[in-house]
Amino acid sequence: MQKRLVLDQQQIAIILKRFCYQLIENHDTFENTVLLGLQPRGPIVLDKIVKTLQEISGIKVPFGYLDATFHRDDFRRRDFPLKANETKIDFLIEGKKVVLIDDVLYKGRSVRAALDAMIAFGRPQKVELMVLVDRKYTRDYPIMPDYCGVKVNTLESQYVSVEWTEKGFEKDAIWITEKA
């Protein structure tokens, strides 16, 4: 299987730090802002952002993990059942600015489902999207990231693979591979 490196560990670290500075510029004290990691892979990115924000600014930003499995439009159309992940949000988002965080934006279906799932926690004032990788030209919904690490052109036959040391890989890396 052929693999092409998109981002290495150092490039990912630079992007995450850039995201933090952009968040500080756009949200200042984070007084009315919350961060939500979209399960299953968004929480890893979110945890790194929260840690870096704390180191840079000393600000503790409210954050949580959102699972949108049961809100997906393809939930009952799969050959195998989807496994739900934990939603861990211990605050309301009513009237708040929400930054949804995920690793890869592909079709936009997960983000659309997350918008539905968020409503259980209130109506946000504004929702922004942050992704490490934007797979251009593959969208099923008109969803675009507000914060984007890198844009890549991919074919339907390809897969963007995100490797994290937290998941047992030797180094953080993002690859484009051919689907099996």
What's the predicted TM-score (pTM) here?
0.92
pLDDT of 132-169, one tens digit each?
999 988 888 999 999 999 999 998 889 999 999 999 99
End-to-end CA, the chain = 8
108 vs 121: CA distance, rounded Å:
21
pLDDT of 62-72, one tens digit each?
999 999 887 76
Phi-psi region of 12 (alpha: psi -120 to 50; beta: other; left: phi over 0): alpha
Two structure tokens written together for 173: 């890396």
Q: What are phi and psi of 160, to 5 degrees?
A: -95, 115
Residue 82 has pLDDT above 70, yes or no: no
Q: What are phi and psi of 31, to 5 degrees?
A: -55, -35
Residue whose entry in the numeric block shows the structure tokens 């990231």: 145
Pick one of 3.40.50.300, 3.20.20.10, 1.10.10.2120, 3.40.50.2020 as the CATH number of 3-70+84-178. 3.40.50.2020
